[in-house]
Amino acid sequence: MKREGFTVLGKEGLRDKQSIEVVTGKIEVADDVFMGQKLFAAKLGSKYAHCKVLSIDYTRALALPGVEAVADHTDIPGWSDVKSFKGQGVAMVAATTPTIAQRALELIDVEYEERPATIDPEEALQSGSPLTGLWPDSNTNDRTELIREGGDVEAGLAEADVEMEIDLGYSNNHSNHPFSGGNATTWWNGDELYCWIDTQNPHSEHRGLAGAFDLNQNQVRVFTHGNGAGFGSGRAPAGIESSVLSRKTGKVVSYHCDRKDQFENGPKQFATKSTTRLGAKSDGTITAIDFVYSSDQGMNSFAPMTGTHQCWQHAINCMNVRLKGIGISTNTVPRSYYR
């Protein structure tokens, strides 16, 4: 329906200015730069959901013609020898072609110490379940608060004419995968780092790279590319890993996260179940809301409290609202948002 009085909304012929480039494949992504002049990175993921890496032998991989560098938790900022979900990075390879890089991964010999893992959020809630390792003595944390100061949920329920309870089971673990879901091409020029990356948040990437390599802000250059949006979940990490390999080789290194990488290492939506007690008067006035939700966070220590808090605070006109969020850690990929 046409709308009068608007300069943009409702006008015919408007379209996404990148739409033609996207559907024809002409839009440039971070993996497209320096074609023919760079090395290609690949990642070896953990074979277990919870383990410690005891040793890594690169002898056979480095003997493969075309392999120029390897890296692991002793080189890469943020990595450790303990792996907390299947597919978490164990080693990286840089080679002259993507095929050689993938072949080199098969030649890396890793000795693991497998540890008990907790995959199911309901199991994680049980006393005595294996600790995921995110928190020192528990797989859960929680936060309870009244949304509005002075509210009294029990008093609100007492004055209600009708009280109901609504239980919702766990939501789906959506995986958000834009068409460019984790690409970075990096190059060191002396002590300056250049990074071409598909991101909607270049300033955060810039700060992260500077912090990871102990650089001043003016020593890092970040260039953004077409990425297909973010949808709340972010991307599989790529910039730091490719930067480590680039510094080792002295060459441009490109790390492209394919769909397998994204599904194994990319964040998924928080899986959440909830119980809501609601009180209301016969005229429809809501007198109280008592909302409890449990969220599978994977290996992400941050529960989605902020967004939930804002929904209740701004969408419901009720004084007596209590929110309790229970964060659950499992040995699965870190969870994130979904938009």
Domains in the chain: ranges and CATH: 30-115+177-265 (3.90.1170.50), 121-170+268-336 (3.30.365.10)
Determine the distance from the C-alpha atom of residue 120 to the mean position of all C-alpha atoms in its chain, rounded to a whole number: 19
- CA angle, corner 295, sides to 292 and 297, nearest 5? 155
For residues 157 and 236, the model is more confident at 157
Tell me the DSSP string of 144-188.
Answer: EEESSTT--HHHHHHT-SEEEEEEE-PPP--B---SS-SEEEEEE
DSSP 270: P
pLDDT surpasses 70 at 181: no
The span from the CA of 125 to the CA of 43, in Å, is 32
**190: confidence class by pLDDT, cuts 50, 70, 90:** very high
Determine the distance from the C-alpha atom of residue 159 to the mean position of all C-alpha atoms in its chain, rounded to a whole number: 44
Question: What is the arithmetic mean of pLDDT over 65-82?
Answer: 97
Token output for 94: 């840089």
Question: What is the arithmetic mean of pLDDT over 52-72?
Answer: 98
Determine the distance from the C-alpha atom of residue 312 to the mean position of all C-alpha atoms in its chain, rounded to a whole number: 25
14-23, 233-242, 267-276: which is most confident: 267-276
Integer-rounded Cα Rg, in Å, for the chain is 24
pLDDT surpasses 60 at 139: yes
pTM (two decimals): 0.85
Residue labelled with tokens 């673990």: 173
Cβ-in-10-Å burial (0-12, 13-18, 19+) of 55 comes to exposed
| Strand ranges (E), 36-129 | 39-45, 51-57, 67-71, 82-83, 89-95, 109-114
The per-residue pLDDT for range 215-249, each reduced to its tens digit, is: 999 999 999 877 767 676 655 568 999 999 999 99
pLDDT of residue 129: 94
Mean pLDDT (the chain) is 88
